[in-house]
Amino acid sequence: MQPFFISLASDSNHWMYISSTGGLTAGRKNPDFALFPYYTDDKISESAEITGSKTILHVFVNGETYIWEPFSDRNKNAYRLERSIAKSTTGNKLIFIEKNLDLGLTYNYNWMNSDKVV
Is the dihedral angle over the CA atoms 118, 38, 11, 2 positive or is it negative?
negative
DSSP3 helix / strand / coil % (the chain, rounded to 5)? 10, 40, 50
Residue 41 sits at φ, ψ, to 5 deg, of -60, -35
Residue 40 maps to a domain? yes
CB burial of residue 72 (10 Å; 0-12, 13-18, 19+): middle
**Count of structural domains within the chain:** 1
In a domain, 15, yes or no: yes
pLDDT at 47: 67
Q: Which domain holds residue 87?
A: 5-112
Can you give the pLDDT at residue 106? 97
CB 91 within 8 A of CB 11: no
Burial class (CB in 10 A: 0-12, 13-18, 19+), 45: buried
Determine, yes or no, domain membership for 117: no
* pLDDT of 60 over the 70 cut: yes
Runs of H (alpha helix) within 20-106 = 41-46
Whether 98 has a pLDDT exceeding 90, the answer reads yes
14 located within any domain: yes
